[in-house]
Structure 1
Amino acid sequence: MITNVTLTTKEKFLLEDQKSDEQICIQKYANYANLATDPELKNILNSNKKQEEEHLNTINQLLSGKVPSMNSNQGSSSQSNSSSSEESISGSAKSSQSKGSSGTFQASDKDLCTDLLMTEKFVSGNYDTAIFEFKDPQVRDVLNHIQKEEQKHGESIYKYMESKGMYKPK
């Protein structure tokens, strides 16, 4: 069940920020899945990308004044949004490469994971701030749901890195 909500100007700005974060996550997951060498990592990144597309769809629904129920299948309309989000995001893998004086440096799977883990920490923190700024408890619940999924993305990357000896907590 979808309910309607009237957003304040500040809430709209916060959602626009979250929309931008989600677009960047989609771009990174798509680019990095293409660059990853390990098939297991590719699967993790593609799975996380699909959820990020669902998050973007949810944010767009909120921006249009609709609060989706988190009990229903959140991804039901993400298919229609994914093509438009991909059009607005460059699919170029150049963002994970940098040119040095000796040519092109290709990021390793560890580099990709480290960047994505930092990104998920940042995005989750932004959701935490936004949750406190919304007056409507249903919207806060939706944002909290997305934040928990962002934390799961970070956890999946962390567990992958730990299992491959890329991340050793001290």
Structure 2
Amino acid sequence: MALTNKEKTLIEDNLNAEYLCIRKYEQYASMASDPQIKQVFQDLANKEHQHATTLEGILSQNGVNNQNIFKSFTTPQGDSSNVQSSLGFTDAQLLNDALYTEKHVSSSYNNAVLESVDTNIRQQLQHIQQEEQGHAETLFKTMNSKGWYDVQ
């Protein structure tokens, strides 16, 4: 079954979000000062790469050429080491931003799941959405363990 225009748009939007997450988490891994937090971000970047590959596969299998549409988001644009030190983000701020990102991405997948006609595609999107929720849980637990997210 060919993708509907809506499915194609939703998958492309989510692929765009995955590319942004990859880039963000790679940058955050380089910016974090705590080795455990660096590893959390690197692990998340790797998982987002897997999600992007899945979405690219869905588009490709359905004859959608997505080459170079969003790739610029995963390509570094120069050395950011001077920028990161001048911005002065704390590990807590990086984690907080990442958590909000995951909330947004999970919500975006929810729309794609609910509006997908193809059962197989819907199941793949649901799987990715569950993993995104797991990413949010990882970030939350990391923040909570450091005392940066109190659940009163």
Q: TM-score when scaled to structure 1?
A: 0.77
Q: Where do 1:1-170 residues align within 5 Å?
A: 5-65=1-61, 88-91=73-76, 104-170=86-152
Q: Percent identity?
A: 38
* Matched residues, number: 145
Instruction: Report the residue type matching 1:147 in the other structure.
Output: Q
Q: Shift in Å at residue 91 of structure 1?
A: 2.6
**Distance in 2 separating the partners of 1:12 and 1:111:** 34
Instruction: Report the residue type matching 2:99 in the other structure.
Output: L
- Partners of 1:29 and 1:45 within 8 A in 2: yes
Q: Shift in Å at residue 169 of structure 1?
A: 1.5
**Relative to total residues, which structure has the larger strand share, 1 or 2?**
1
Which consecutive unaligned segments of at least 5 residues does structure 1 have?
Answer: 67-84
Q: 1:119 to 1:93 in 2, by over 3 A?
A: farther
Q: Shift in Å at residue 6 of structure 1?
A: 1.1
**Distance in 2 separating the partners of 1:147 and 1:155:** 12
- Partners of 2:23 and 2:73 within 8 A in 1: no
Q: Deviation per CA, 1:39-85, whole angstroms, max 9, x where unpaired?
A: 1111111111111000000000111136xxxxxxxxxxxxxxxxxx8
Q: 1:105 to 1:94 in 2, by over 3 A?
A: farther
Which residue does the alignment assign to 2:66? Answer: none
Q: Deviation per CA, 1:133-160, whole angstroms, max 9, x where unpaired?
A: 1111111100000001101111001000
User: SS where residue 167 of structure 1 aligns?
Assistant: coil
Q: 1:28 to 1:94 in 2, by over 3 A?
A: farther
Structure 1 moving runs of 4+ over 6 Å: none
- Partners of 1:22 and 1:56 within 8 A in 2: yes
